[in-house]
Amino acid sequence: MANETLTQPSILACCEGCQNHFEVNGKVILSCNLKSEDGEAITLVCYDCPKCSRRHYVQIDNEHTKKLLHELKVHLARAARASKRDNFVSKKQSDKAKKIRERLKNERFALMAKYQGSKLYDPITLKEVEVRFSV
């Protein structure tokens, strides 16, 4: 499943464990579906250092931010069709996209703050994951 992070061009990351610099692109970015202690379904986007395999968490989503992301995609697709037809993007449409992006950013930020340092569970392996964000 593509999301906003995956479609961005590759970036250079520095490992928090061994200080190794490595390229982060669609090939190394993983997403994992986890559950919080109170049962909230959480999707984390992460990548591993190729040298020491330390895991870095960079993005978090729950059902609500996924809905916002979907809303944004639908809106952008609609805006793209309209701009093709009319040859311009209306201010109303670009404002709306901006607003959804802003909400998405804020909600992800709040989720990160909520789950920073907490434990999540892999519902399949039941393995416990301690979350520390690298952003």
Stretch that binds Zn ion, among 44-52, 69-77, 92-100, 124-132 (CB under 5 A): 44-52
Report the nearest approach of Zn ion to the CB of residue 22 (Å). Answer: 8
Report the nearest approach of Zn ion to the CB of residue 89 (Å). Answer: 42
Choose among 5, 47, 44: nearest CA to 23. Answer: 47
Check residue 15 for interaction with Zn ion (CB under 5 A).
yes
47 to 66: interface string for Zn ion, x by CB under 5 A: --x-xx-x------------
Q: What are phi and psi of 20, to 5 degrees?
A: -65, 135
**Cα separation, 41 vs 50, whole angstroms:** 28
